[in-house]
A = this chain, B = another copy of it.
Amino acid sequence: MQKRAPSPRVTTRDVAERAGVSQPTVSLVLSQNPTARISPETRARIIKAAEELRYSPNLVARSLVRSRSYALGIIVPDFRNPFFADVVSSVERVAAEEGYAVLLCEAGESSPAKYLDALHARIIDGVIIDAVGASSVHADLLDRTNVVLIDQLPGRWPGVATDAESAGAQAADHLIAFGHRRIAFIGPAIDVHSFRMRERGFWNALRAAGISLPSEYLVRANATALDGRAAMRSLFALDPRPTAVFCVNDVVAIGALKACIAAGAHVPGDISIVGCDDIELAQLVTPELTTVKVPARELGGRAARLLIRTIEGKAPGKYLGRLLPVVLVARGTSGPAPGDRS
């Protein structure tokens, strides 16, 4: 016993009847490319009838016949993370501007495969994937639809990405320039390409500076504030303690900062912290977080535009290719290494 939709739907047939024409004529007038040959009078009559009846097209029926749904999927691991919230928000905005709806999927740390199936069943026009293990998904699942990957290895599918390796390198260089030599890293073990690249850029920059570090300075922790805090606590147990930490993202960094303050350590006097993303919150903690600014909204916006262009058969234009640049923003959580005169 389903509850019935309260008001019956107005169809093209209703409009046709009212305007004294046939259903296809209504369809031609209300949907078609302006190529159709319809007399101005008929057109006006149909439009008037449609307005009077408050006709609104049934996009499901349209989807069926056109094999187009004007809907996009987006898969992110966790949009309670402000960075992903920004990405999703900008995707939604662009999609809405272009007349597309957005189906939201939060995959957590599991594979997006499950969601890909669900989206495919709905004849999604395309999907943006910024999720764990996207690169390990069966190619079949991705080949059935239009895909844009965010922050993944350049490969078979188009994508947009930030220069994550540079982000890690800039963080390392910043800390090195402040005289730090014992520098730790906190980041997750999961297969998120941008995280991996940040880490790689970081280690490479250290190696280039001739700094090598004990394995205890690499702490694996989930990309959440709580885990960042716990990770920082474990670093305090070490001897010698690191004088600086690069965290894989700002949420982790804020957790780490919290741990330092709770432990009575002075930031940046005793220990420097650098995050990554530059979420809004970075400027609201005290001291303000030194971080690498990553253009989240531009990332999402580009992904959406690239996907929509692909769907509509246009050239990708300027939306493909280049790594989006990132830049370190020095704020209050980084400073000279303790005992360093430079």
Judge whether A69 is part of the interface by a CB distance below 8 angstroms: yes
User: Which residues of A1-37 are within 8 A (CB) of B?
Assistant: 1-3, 5-7
The answer on a CB contact under 8 Å between A85 and B79 is yes
The answer on a CB contact under 8 Å between B117 and A56 is yes
How many protomers of this protein does the assembly include?
A: 2
The answer on a CB contact under 8 Å between B121 and A59 is yes
By beta carbon, the residue of chain B nearest A3 is B313
Judge whether A220 is part of the interface by a CB distance below 8 angstroms: no
The answer on a CB contact under 8 Å between B5 and A144 is yes
User: Which residues of A109-138 are within 8 A (CB) of B?
Assistant: 117-123
Contacts of A101 on B, CB cut-off 8 Å? 103, 118-119, 122
Tell me which of B56, B104, B120 contacts A104 (CB under 8 A).
B104
The answer on a CB contact under 8 Å between B121 and A58 is yes
The answer on a CB contact under 8 Å between A122 and B59 is yes
The answer on a CB contact under 8 Å between B104 and A92 is yes
Chain B nearest CB from A26 CB (Å) reads: 16
Tell me which of B6, B82, B313 contacts A2 (CB under 8 A).
B313
Judge whether A234 is part of the interface by a CB distance below 8 angstroms: no
Cα distance, A120 to B283, chains bound together (Å): 40
Interface size class of A (residues with CB under 8 A): 35 or more
Cα distance, A145 to B286, chains bound together (Å): 47
By beta carbon, the residue of chain B nearest A225 is B284
By beta carbon, the residue of chain B nearest A312 is B2
The answer on a CB contact under 8 Å between B123 and A106 is no
Judge whether A57 is part of the interface by a CB distance below 8 angstroms: yes
Contacts of A86 on B, CB cut-off 8 Å? 80
Judge whether A281 is part of the interface by a CB distance below 8 angstroms: yes
Q: What does the 1/0 interface line of A85-101 toward B look like (CB < 8 Å)? A: 11011001100100001
Tell me which of B56, B105, B143, B258 contacts A7 (CB under 8 A).
B143
Tell me which of B255, B258, B286 contacts A258 (CB under 8 A).
B286
Judge whether A42 is part of the interface by a CB distance below 8 angstroms: no
Name the segment of A60-68, A160-168, A173-181 touching the other chain.
A60-68
